[in-house]
């Protein structure tokens, strides 16, 4: 497992596409994900610490988990199928860890809200990660 961090989220310049980029915490690999506008908004709100008047869906889920005396211990992006990242929430409870399948964007949005770590498997990184080219990065 490789710990990941949100590097950026936003609209791709000159298009209607939105992109989430995760960065390897102790490395240079980047994991880019094309996402929808609503997913980008949910992640950006959490990443930038924006206060909203009413709880968003991910805020609600964080509250429900806490009220049920659980905690999000981590999220794991564990598979890539037909350009779709497959993710799971690992929720710690008094009965042990419960794994819940979810969309990677929902997992990231929730993890940011509760400060849970985000991981990706080596298999996913081998399939989809990119490494910045230093010569282009310097330009």
The three-state secondary structure class of 31 is strand
The domain defined by 2-132 carries CATH number 3.10.690.10 = yes
Res 135 pLDDT > 70:
no
Specify the pTM. Answer: 0.90
**Encoding tokens for residue 32?**
């880019």
Please report, for the chain, the start and end positions of each structural domain, with discontinuous segments joined by +. 2-132
- Minimum mean pLDDT range among 63-67, 83-87, 134-138: 134-138
Residue 83 phi, psi (nearest 5): 65, 20
Res 44 pLDDT > 50:
yes
User: Which pLDDT does position 138 carry in this prediction?
Assistant: 43
Q: pLDDT, tens digit, for every residue of 58-81?
A: 999 999 999 999 999 999 999 999
User: Which pLDDT does position 133 carry in this prediction?
Assistant: 76
The three-state secondary structure class of 44 is helix
- The CA-atom distances, in angstroms, between 23 and each of 2, 68, 88, 129 are 10, 32, 18, 9
């Amino acid at each position: 497992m490789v710990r990941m961090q949100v590097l950026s989220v936003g609209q791709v310049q000159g298009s209607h596409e939105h992109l989430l980029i995760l960065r390897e915490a102790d490395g240079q690999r980047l994991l880019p994900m094309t996402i929808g506008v609503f997913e980008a908004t949910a992640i950006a709100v959490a990443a930038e610490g924006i206060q909203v008047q009413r709880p968003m869906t991910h805020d609600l889920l964080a509250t429900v988990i806490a009220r049920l005396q659980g905690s999000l211990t981590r999220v794991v992006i564990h598979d890539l199928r037909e350009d779709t990242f497959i993710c799971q929430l690992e929720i710690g409870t008094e009965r042990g860890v419960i794994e819940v399948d979810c969309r990677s964007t929902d997992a990231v949005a929730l993890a940011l809200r509760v400060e849970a770590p985000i991981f990706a498997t080596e298999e996913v990184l081998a399939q989809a990660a990119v490494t910045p080219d230093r010569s282009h990065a310097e330009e």
